[in-house]
């Protein structure tokens, strides 16, 4: 059993833009009250609910949600991220504790030459549209969260999504002008390695 921490964050954003989460959850047997209270659920149930969200919400919702979700919605993880000393430590903390809170994707930090990559892979058995939803929210939100927590205006070098490009790329326009690639073996956000050692603003002396 896992707490639906990310699911709660996504639905809190839905409520913020004026949609009723319970309307989207209608027929699932799960009420937003349960999710908001972080009542533990079976991983398979969380995966099913992501399929419901992906099927019922607009195509551009996931990207917009990722760019707007507050890291404070992540509870314990948000607190631990704030207490990181550097951007490298922040990313490594994310990788460790996202699994603890039952995040639907696992992630790892890879450094090659002048770039770092935050690589996302599914932890749950997600349908293709649920995987797309989780990848888009997570990848769109990662750079925003790093900026918000670190106090540094870092930029992504590129985004690599693990699925084929859709016919309509409009949903990805908020990520411009960063280059976007499709069809990679895993989803990843790529940044500059020199940014990893930047101290978080709260830890600067």
Number of other CB atoms surrounding residue 155 within 10 Å: 12
Q: What is the pLDDT of residue 143?
A: 85
pLDDT of residue 72: 62
Residues 34, 36, 37, 40, Cα dihedral to 10°? 60
Q: What is the pLDDT of residue 31?
A: 95
What's the longest Cα–Cα distance across the chain? 53
Please give the model's pTM, rounded to 2 decimal places.
0.88
Give dist(CA 25, CA 195) in Å, integer. Answer: 40
- Tell me the mean pLDDT per 10 residues along the chain, length 205: 89 92 95 93 93 94 87 63 80 80 86 92 93 93 83 88 90 91 89 89 50
Neighbours of 17 (CB within 10 A): 10
Residue 180 pLDDT: 94
């Amino acid at each position: 059993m896992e707490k639906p921490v990310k699911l709660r964050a996504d639905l809190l954003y839905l409520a913020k833009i004026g949609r009723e989460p319970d309307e989207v959850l209608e027929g699932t047997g799960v009420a937003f009250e349960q999710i908001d209270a972080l009542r533990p659920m079976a991983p398979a149930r969380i995966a099913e609910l992501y399929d419901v969200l992906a099927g019922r919400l607009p195509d551009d919702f996931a990207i917009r949600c990722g760019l707007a979700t507050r890291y404070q919605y992540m509870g314990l993880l948000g607190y631990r991220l704030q207490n990181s000393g550097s951007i490298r430590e922040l990313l490594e903390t994310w990788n460790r504790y996202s699994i603890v809170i039952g995040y639907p994707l696992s992630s790892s930090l890879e450094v090659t030459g002048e770039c770092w990559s935050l690589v996302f892979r599914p932890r749950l058995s997600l349908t293709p549209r649920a995987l797309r939803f989780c990848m888009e929210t997570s990848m769109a939100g990662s750079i925003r969260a790093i900026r918000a927590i670190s106090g540094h205006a870092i930029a992504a070098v590129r985004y690599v999504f693990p699925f084929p490009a859709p016919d309509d790329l409009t949903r990805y326009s908020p990520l411009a002008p960063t280059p976007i690639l499709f069809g990679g073996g895993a989803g990843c956000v790529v940044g500059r390695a020199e940014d990893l050692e930047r101290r978080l603003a709260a830890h600067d002396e």
